Structure 1
C-alpha cells in the first residue's frame, strides 16, 4: 500500500462515516498521512479527526474513534490507534506494506510521477547570461537547478518550455565587439571592455575565417566582429550547456523583439491598460501602482527604448505563446528585478501572484586545499562552467549545485567532491545504486533472481530495517510533488541521501543473498525485490537531477 492509497482509504472512512450519520462535517478533498518520527506510533499518522472536530461539533477523540473503527477494516490496515487529542496512528500489515516494492519495480521510471501540475503550462527561463563571455559559476548553479526543476515539473504533469534569453541588443554587445576588434588588431582592450583568453581566441577565429576583415573600415569592421563574435559566443554557450546535460527548448533573441516591433507593441498594450504616462519627454510605466519602489521609463526622451521596455515585451511574448506561468530564475544581483517584473505582469492585467514567479539564487564559492578559487585563465576573472566540469565532473557539479536551497550561498569543496568517501554526497548516493546493482549481479551469477511477481511474498519483509526502507520508498511521490510545488529541487537530492542511508542500514542488517551453498529462500527473493525497488527509486531521483546512476564504480 502506497501513502497515496492509504490516504484514499482514510478519506473513504471519513466519507462513509459522514454518509452513515456518525457525525456531520464537510468531507475534505484530500487527507494527508505522514510517517511518524517515533516508530511506536505506527507506520503512518493523520490529524484528520482534529480537522473535522470543530465543523462536526464533536470532541476530536470521538471523531477519531468513529473514523478508526471504519479504517481498521480497510484491506491492508493491521490496526489503528488514537493518540493524544485525536491523532490516528495507523499500522499496516506486513504484506500490504511490502507490496510497495512490487509496485515500484513494475512502474519503473514512472514511479513517483504524479498529476499535481497536470496541464499547467510553464515557461522556465534560467541562466540567460549575457553572450559576452563563458557561463560563470553563478550561471552554472542555475543551469543545474533550472534543468532539474524542469524535469521535476514535467514529472508532475506540467507542460514546461525551457528557455534561454539571449541579451543580444544593447551596449554590452557593442563593448564585446570592440573588445574582439581590439584583440584582433593587437590593441589594448577598451577600459570598459571584456578580458580573458577567450576574447583572443574568438578574435583569432574570426580573422582566420575572414582574413579580409581587418581591411574593412573601422565601423564595418566593428559591426562584423559584433555579429560574428555573438554567433560564436552563443554557440560556445550552447556547447557548454550540452556538455552539462542542459538542452533548452527555446533560445530567444532580445534583438528579435526590436526587429519585429514587439517592444513598441508592448508599450501600446500597456498604455491601453491605463498605466503608461509621459513626463519630461519620456514614456513611463506607473509601476508604483504595483508596489515597485519607483516608476520605470519605457522610452527615453531621445526616443530610445529601455531594457525595461524589452523586459515588458518579453513577458508579454511569453504569455502570448501560451504560458500560464512565467518563471524567471535570476542571480543574486537581481533582487531589484522582482518588483518591477511583477509590476509588468500586473500592469498587463495578469495576476502577479499566479502568472509570474521570480526565483533568486545566491552566490557560489569553490574551495581547493581549503582556499577559495577565484580566477579562471580562460575567462580572466571568473570561474566558468568548463572549469567546474574539468575540476569535479558533470555528475558531481550538477548534484552538488542542486542539493542546497538557492536562498543560501553555496560553497563547493573540490577535494570533497572528487573523493570516493561518504563525505561526497553524490558518491554516497551513486554508490548505493551500484551496491544494489552488484547484489543483483551476484544473485544472477549464483543462478537465481527475484522471481515472478505472483511468487513474491511481501509478508516476509517484517524486519525493522525493511519496514524503514519501505516507508522511505513510499515517500518519493510526496517529495517529488513538494519539490515541484515549492520549486525546490534540493528536496529530491536530500531525500536520495536519506534513502541511501536507509538502504545501507538495511543491507548491513538483512542478508539479501544466501550464505555459501545455501539454497535461496522466499525471503532472499523478497529482499531482492526490495533492493530492486530501491535501485529504481534512486535511479529515478538521480535522473530528475540530471545525474547518472552507474552500475559499477
Structure 2
C-alpha cells in the first residue's frame, strides 16, 4: 500500500464519520496526506486530519480522531489505528499489505512513481537558451541538467510539456561574434568586447574553407554572421544531445522580427491600454503591475528594444496554447523577474498562473581545491565539454541536479570521480548495480520470482519493512519534486532513503540461499523486494537523466 492509497482511506473514513454524525463536509479537504513518523514505534504512518478540521466542524479533535480511527481500522490492509496526543492518527499496516508493495513496484516497472497530478496542464518550459556566440558555459549546463530533469518530472506527473530553446540570433552580441570571426579569418587580434578561444578560429576556418572568397565578398561580416551562427547552432545542439538533453522546439529570435511578431505584440499591448508615448519613444507602463520603472518598447529612432522581443516571444507562447510559460534564467537575470511579471499582466494574464520564472545560481568547477577559471577552447568560460571531460556525463547531470537551483555550487573534480560512497552518484549507482547483481546471482542458483508464489506476509523483518516504507514514498517524492520544481528532491530521496535502507536490508536479510540451503518462499519474497528496489532506483535516476548500471 502506498502513502497515497492510505491517505485516500483516511479521507474516506473521515467522510463516513461526517455522514454518520451529520457534520458539514465542506470543511474536509479534497485530498489529504499521511507522513512517516520519526519514531517507528508510533506506527507506519501518521495523519493529523482530525486536528485540521475539528474546530471548523465544531467537535473535539481527539474525539473526532477516535471516530475516524474506529472506521479506518476496518479497512483492508490496516492492522491497527491508535489516537495519540491531541488527535494524531498513528496507523499500522499488516505485514501482507506492506509486503504487497514489492510486487506492485515490479509489475508497474517504469511507470511506478508516475501520476496524473498535473494532468490537463499545458506547459512551455524554456531553459539553457544560451546565445549562439560560443560553447555552453557552466551556468547553461546547470539548466541543461535541471531543466531536462524538470521536464521529465512534469511529464511523469501528467503535464503536457514542450521543452524549448530560444536562440538569441539578433542584436549586438551577434555583431561582436561576426566581427570576431572576421578578425580571426584575417589573422587580426580579437576586437574589443569580441569573443576569443579556439572555437572562434575553428569556425572562421570552416567558413573560409566553405567560402574561399569570403574575404572578397561585398559584406564579409554578414557572411560570417550567417555561416558562423549556423555552425555554432550545430555545435550547441550536438553538445546538448550528447549530454542527453533534447528539446522539442528550437526557436530563433530572428523569426520574431521577420514575421512581424514584435509589431503584433505592440498592437496587443496598445489594445490593453498599457502603452504611452514619451520623448519620441513608445513605453510600456509596467509600474502599474509592480515593476520598478516603465519599459521602453520602441526607441525614439523607431527600433524595437530587446524587451519588445521578450514581449513578442511570451505572447507567441501563449498564442500557441500554453497555459503556463516557465522560463529558467541565470543569476545575472534576477532583475528580469519584475518586468516579465508586469509584462504578463499588461497582456491581461495572471502572472501567478501564466508565467513562472526560475533563477539558477552560479556553478564553479573546482580542481585541487581551486576553481577552474577558464577553458582554452571556450576562451573565458568553462564549457559543457570541459565539465563532461572532467567527471563524465552521469556525474555532471547528477551533480548539477542534486542541489536546489537557487544555491551556488562547487563541483569538485576529485569528489565526483571517486569510486567511493562519498561520491553521491557512485553511491546510488552502486546500489543499482548491486541489486542487478543479486538478481543475476539468484538466477545462477535457480532462484527466480516464479520459483514460489509471492507471499508478501513473509516480508516482516524490521529492515524489510523499513525498505518497503522507503519504496512506498517514491510517488509522493516525484509529485512534490514536480510541483515544487525541485529535481534535487529525487537525488536526496535516492541517497538518504532508498540506498541507506537497502544497505541495511542487504546486511540483515540474505536474499540468496547459503551453501546447501534449499530455496524457500522467503528467498523469493526477498528477491521481489530486491528487484523492486532496483526498479525505484532506475526510475529515479531516469528522471534525472542518469544511467542505472547493471555492473560497476
TM-score (norm 1): 0.98
What is the match of residue 324 of structure 1?
323
- Distance in 2 of aligned mates of 1:7 and 1:470: 17
Q: How does 1:535-546 map to 2 (within 5 A)?
A: 535-546=534-545
Does structure 1 conserve the Cα–Cα contact (< 8 Å) formed by 2:139 and 2:362?
Answer: yes
Match of 1:483 among 481, 484, 487: 481
Q: CA deviation at 1:24?
A: 4.7
Does structure 2 conserve the Cα–Cα contact (< 8 Å) formed by 1:273 and 1:347?
Answer: yes
- Distance in 2 of aligned mates of 1:460 and 1:195: 66
Long gaps (5+) in structure 1: none
Is 1:364 the counterpart of 2:363? The answer is: yes
Q: CA deviation at 1:239?
A: 0.5
Cα displacement string for residues 501-528 of structure 1 (whole angstroms, at most 9, x for unaligned residues): 1111111111111111211111111010
What is the match of residue 294 of structure 1?
293
Q: How does 1:81-160 map to 2 (within 5 A)?
A: 81-160=82-161
Does structure 2 conserve the Cα–Cα contact (< 8 Å) formed by 1:25 and 1:55?
Answer: no
- Distance in 2 of aligned mates of 1:475 and 1:378: 45
Does structure 2 conserve the Cα–Cα contact (< 8 Å) formed by 1:80 and 1:91?
Answer: yes
Does structure 1 conserve the Cα–Cα contact (< 8 Å) formed by 2:365 and 2:387?
Answer: no
What is the match of residue 167 of structure 1?
168
Q: CA deviation at 1:23?
A: 4.8
What is the match of residue 67 of structure 1?
68
| More moved, 116-125 vs 6-15 | 6-15
- Distance in 2 of aligned mates of 1:21 and 1:352: 43
Cα displacement string for residues 477-498 of structure 1 (whole angstroms, at most 9, x for unaligned residues): 0000001111110001111112
Instruction: List structure 1 segments (4+ residues) > 6 angstroms apart after TM superposition.
Output: none
Does structure 2 conserve the Cα–Cα contact (< 8 Å) formed by 1:77 and 1:93?
Answer: yes
Q: How does 1:315-394 map to 2 (within 5 A)?
A: 315-394=314-393
Q: How does 1:356-435 map to 2 (within 5 A)?
A: 356-435=355-434
Cα displacement string for residues 382-438 of structure 1 (whole angstroms, at most 9, x for unaligned residues): 100001111111000000100100111111110110110011100000000000000
Please state whether the residue corresponding to 1:551 is helix, strand or coil.
coil
What is the match of residue 520 of structure 2?
521
What is the match of residue 468 of structure 2?
470
Does structure 2 conserve the Cα–Cα contact (< 8 Å) formed by 1:108 and 1:536?
Answer: yes
What is the match of residue 282 of structure 2?
283
Please state whether the residue corresponding to 2:468 is helix, strand or coil.
helix
Does structure 1 conserve the Cα–Cα contact (< 8 Å) formed by 2:15 and 2:25?
Answer: no
Does structure 1 conserve the Cα–Cα contact (< 8 Å) formed by 2:149 and 2:544?
Answer: yes
Q: CA deviation at 1:50?
A: 0.5
- Distance in 1 of aligned mates of 2:30 and 2:453: 37
What is the match of residue 44 of structure 1?
45
What is the match of residue 177 of structure 2?
176
* RMSD (Å) for aligned C-alpha atoms: 1.0
- Distance in 2 of aligned mates of 1:442 and 1:159: 41
Please state whether the residue corresponding to 1:20 is helix, strand or coil.
helix
Is 1:448 the counterpart of 2:465? The answer is: no
Is 1:461 the counterpart of 2:462? The answer is: no
What is the match of residue 11 of structure 1?
11
Does structure 2 conserve the Cα–Cα contact (< 8 Å) formed by 1:174 and 1:226?
Answer: yes
Cα displacement string for residues 433-483 of structure 1 (whole angstroms, at most 9, x for unaligned residues): 00000000000001121227x811111111111111110111100000001
Please state whether the residue corresponding to 2:352 is helix, strand or coil.
coil
Q: CA deviation at 1:3?
A: 1.1
Please state whether the residue corresponding to 1:374 is helix, strand or coil.
coil
Q: CA deviation at 1:25?
A: 4.5
Q: CA deviation at 1:251?
A: 0.3
Does structure 1 conserve the Cα–Cα contact (< 8 Å) formed by 2:149 and 2:401?
Answer: yes
What is the match of residue 20 of structure 2?
20
Is 1:239 the counterpart of 2:238? The answer is: yes
Equivalent pairs, count: 550
Does structure 2 conserve the Cα–Cα contact (< 8 Å) formed by 1:266 and 1:316?
Answer: yes
Does structure 2 conserve the Cα–Cα contact (< 8 Å) formed by 1:25 and 1:52?
Answer: no
Does structure 1 conserve the Cα–Cα contact (< 8 Å) formed by 2:180 and 2:200?
Answer: yes
- Distance in 1 of aligned mates of 2:276 and 2:402: 46
Q: How does 1:153-232 map to 2 (within 5 A)?
A: 153-217=154-218, 220-232=219-231
What is the match of residue 258 of structure 1?
257
- Distance in 1 of aligned mates of 2:366 and 2:519: 49
Please state whether the residue corresponding to 1:85 is helix, strand or coil.
coil
